[in-house]
Amino acid sequence: MRILGLFSLMLHIATVCCTELTFELPDNEKQCFYEDLEAGVKIDIDYQVIAGGNYDVDCFVTDPQNNVLYQERKRQYDSFSYATTSKGVYKVCFSNEFSTFTHKTVYLDFRSGEEAPLLPDMNRATALTQMESACLSIHEILKVVADSQTWYRLREAQDRIRAEDLNERISYWSIGETVLLFVVSLGQVLMLKSFFTEKKTNVAAST
C-alpha cells in the first residue's frame, strides 16, 4: 500500500509488554500472531482497519487449548480484554477471507501484563507522598496523551488514504472526460466534412 508500508514493533521490557504494529492483510487470506503467556496475565487488544474495502475484518482470539475467547466478524474496530487462565501460546488472528479482491491495512495494539510501579518503593498499600502523587498524575495524563496521539494518527492515515483514492478517481474521470471530448470533437469534424463532400459531389453531377 502507498501509505502504510510501516511495520513498527515496540517492546517494553518491564512488567508490561506492548506490541503495536500495522500490517497488510491481502484478500482471501488470514494472518495470525502468537504470544506465549503465563496464567493470570491480563491482556488487552485493540485493532482498527485503516484502509481497504468497507474497512472491516474478521478477528478471533484463542487460548492454548484452542478455545475461542473472542470472535467478531466484519468489524471496523474493537477492543478485547481478558485474564489468562492457563499457561501457553495465545493466538490472535485476522481474516480477510470473505473479500475476493480488496486487501486491508490493519492496526493492532497488543498489551499484556501489569504496569510496573513508577518508583521502586511505590505500592498500593502505602500512602503516596505529594511528589509521588504528582508523578503518578503526570504519568496517567501522558498515557492519555499517547493514546490520543495514536488515535489521531490512525484517523489521519485513514482520511489520507480516502483522499488519495478520491483524487485518483477524479484523475481517471478527468482523463476519461478528456478522451470523450476529443472523440466527440473528432466525430463532429468528420461529420461536417462529410456534409461538404456530399454537396460538392452533387454539384459536379448536375453540371
Long-range CB pairs of 135-143 (<8 Å, 24+ gap) are: none
35/202 Cα distance (integer angstroms)? 88
pLDDT tens digits for range 129-182: 777 777 778 877 887 888 788 778 877 877 887 888 888 889 999 999 999 999
Q: What is the pLDDT of residues 25-45, one digit of tens each?
A: 998 899 999 999 999 999 999
Q: 187-203 burial by CB neighbour count: b if 16+ within 10 A, else e?
A: eeeeeeeeeeeeeeeee
- 110: cell is 497488543
pLDDT tens digits for range 55-86: 889 999 999 999 999 999 999 889 999 999 99
Distances (CA, A) of 187 to 69, 126, 174, 196: 66, 89, 20, 15
State phi, psi for 176 to the nearest 5 degrees: -65, -40
With 0-12 / 13-18 / 19 or more C-beta atoms within 10 angstroms meaning exposed / middle / buried, residue 29 is: middle
- As a whole number, the mean pLDDT across the chain is 80
Chain-centroid distance of CA 84 in Å reads: 27
Which helix (H) or strand (E) segment holds residue 113: the answer is none
**Kind plus residue range of the DSSP H or E element containing 173:** helix 130-206
pLDDT score of 200 more than 60: no
Q: Rounded to whole angstroms, how far apart are CA atoms 51 and 60?
A: 20
